Chain A
Amino acid sequence: MPEILHVGIDLGTSRSSISASNGERFVVDSYVGWPVDMVARKVLKRGVLIGHEAVSNRTMLDLHRPLERGLLKEGSEKDVEAVRELLKHLLGLVGVSNGGSVSASNVRAVVGVPAAALRTNKQYLRNSMKGIVDSLLIVSEPFAVAYGLDALLHTLIIDIGAGTTDFCVMRGRYPTEEDQRTLTVAGDSIDAQLLKLIEERYPEANVTVYMVREWKEKFSFVGKASQKVIVTAPVKGVPTQLDITNEMKAACESLLPPVNEMMLDLLARVEPEFQERVRNNIILSGGGGLTRGLPQALEAALNQVGGGKVRYMEDPVFIGSDGGLALAIDAPDGDWEKLSG
């Protein structure tokens, strides 16, 4: 019997990660680009570029970011093709290929999607993954995170990605719509806010959303700044140092009111006898979880309702795909066979 490869995939708006049962783990930027013309194709020497390479060569590419708010954009064939290329690339990185050691027909995958993904979104994703893997289980991303951490009971997961911020209260059951919420205020909205604020303060600086995203990933913080945030950007073509400390703080803190409100709202819906346990067991994941000072800011909001504890995971990039992998491995063969094909 051919060896089965189990994989967990966190298909993210900004980054996608894969964890495989052969021990391989990779993360790529969720960008796919095709050369715009013959000249670009000749320069790039490839028909399709993925991840950071695609972003770096974007001037020569028809660049696609196929996931919007964590979901596959519907109605765009190019985006469906892009997501297929992205998935094939991720699987290729862990050794899956037609002529390689593991073929697609031996892959069982768990893919995480935003908590509030609709059934049509899930079915659309399933259709687009036909032929890429043998069996596919789609679960909500915060559920995959919770499963991977064994945080199955009296836990609130807050997964801050680029496109969405997902909330999920784990009650020892597969989360229902009552247990989950999704906000579209997330990393991308911080980027947009930061770009706007920088443009307002430095109207002559030439700044793109890609630069802003990189700065945010390096320097994001809420609360008191531990140091000034100084970045370099061209002003009238001259590389110039810009102090964006206040702008960074304001943009990152724009996340706090909606996240605090949603967190408190979900906590209030937990059975009263378990509320304190859930309040003391809040887990931050996703790239946004790396924002300095965020756990403390959320804990400050929890003081309104008796206090609580917010933990931050050290490895937020792989936490979702690792959770998906744990699920894939634990699921019995009989269940996988039902989803085969």
Chain B
Amino acid sequence: MTAARKDRVKRRLIQQAFADNLDTIRGLPPRAVRPRNRNARIWMRRAPLLLLFLTLAGSTYLASNPTSVRDTIGPAKIVMNRPARSAGVPPTSIDPTPVTAAALQLSVRRVIVDAGHGGADPGATSLLNVREKDITLDIAERLEALLKKNGFEVVATRESDRLIPLRERARIANESNGDIFVSIHVNSIIKHTASHGIETYYLGATSDPTLTRLAADENRVSGYSVADLRKLLDRLYADARRGESERLADEVQRQLVGNLRAADPGLENWGVKRAPFVVLVATDMPAILAEIGCMSNDTEVARLHRPDYRQHIAEALFQGIHAYASVADASQKKGI
């Protein structure tokens, strides 16, 4: 590189470094994500007007053609849980009632199974050198087999000991058009090695500093900050996906705790929680992250080392997914 070119490159680098610092001070997200945010903001601003227009147009069409819709569509597909409006009064605003997947008749066909960590990123490692990446991959493979055996389609984000960046995992999930996303991880709480438990996360902001820190740790390689993600959540998060993610998390957590306590009576139920994990925010479908054990507890590590215990975990995860899917299917059959 010539001296003049080097000087030009240096000037540009300095400008970019200062611009990046000013963005941080102003609380702006990294430049790489900004265009997407801008588009999202534009659409979020326009969405109420668009919905209002569609609602008005739809009600006008229904009023003028009361039978044509029934003839072509059959039973009503979407029923909103809202009080009946007085006849002849057109809707004037968007109803804030959250829309559930049941209302939209969603069914679960394709499950994205995400084995946490991998390759150069071992995740939590126990003193016995049991690595989180190996445990998660093994359980993911077992879960995949169970799901396939029961008629689900499965897309795995990781099938070997490879490093897959979080963004890539989200891309795989979104491009595969998955119906739900299940990420498998193992906890490690160095300050509480005596206890062990299970917790399941779905996407959402949290005010708990421990969870913020946990999410920041898991999101470290993504380049986004927790503050950036909070902003994304505030603007982009849809009621249907959050509600469905919470329901999926509830089912999975219930099955995990219920099934695994038989093998481990001391297992603690740490509940369903919200945290802004990148894999959850960047995926387009209901998504959860299950912490299926604790690497910081020696007894638990010994259990995780056993194939039969890992099979138990995979079965519990499967039952959680199955329970969630059954409700969605039942809603569809009843035409709710």
Contacts and interface: CB of A to CB of B under 8 A. Distances in A.
Contact of B18 (A143, A152, A153, A331): A331
Interface size class of B (residues with CB under 8 A): 35 or more
A258 B30 CA distance: 27
A126 B24 contact: yes
Nearest to A150: B6
Contacts of A339: 18, 21-22, 25
A327 B10 CA distance: 9
A119 B24 contact: yes
Interface size class of A (residues with CB under 8 A): 35 or more
A103 interface: no
Contacts, number: 110
B223 A120 contact: no
B32 A176 contact: yes
Contacts of A174: 12-13, 16-17, 20
Interface stretch (A54-62, A88-96, A177-185, A231-239): A177-185
Contacts of B127: 196
B219 A118 contact: yes
A137 interface: yes
B18 A118 contact: no
A138 B24 contact: yes
Contacts of B119: 258, 261, 265
B273 to A, nearest CB: 18
B209 interface: yes
A153 B9 contact: yes
B216 interface: yes
B79 interface: no
Contact of A152 (B9, B17, B31): B9
Interface in B72-131: 119-122, 127
B16 A123 contact: no
A268 to B, nearest CB: 11
Interface in A162-180: 172-174, 176-178, 180
A176 B127 CA distance: 35
Contact of B25 (A126, A150, A153): A126
B221 A181 contact: yes
A203 interface: no
Interface string B218-242: 0111111111100000000000000
Contact of B24 (A123, A257, A258, A265): A123
6 contacts: A121-B216, A150-B6, A174-B12, A174-B16, A176-B30, A185-B120
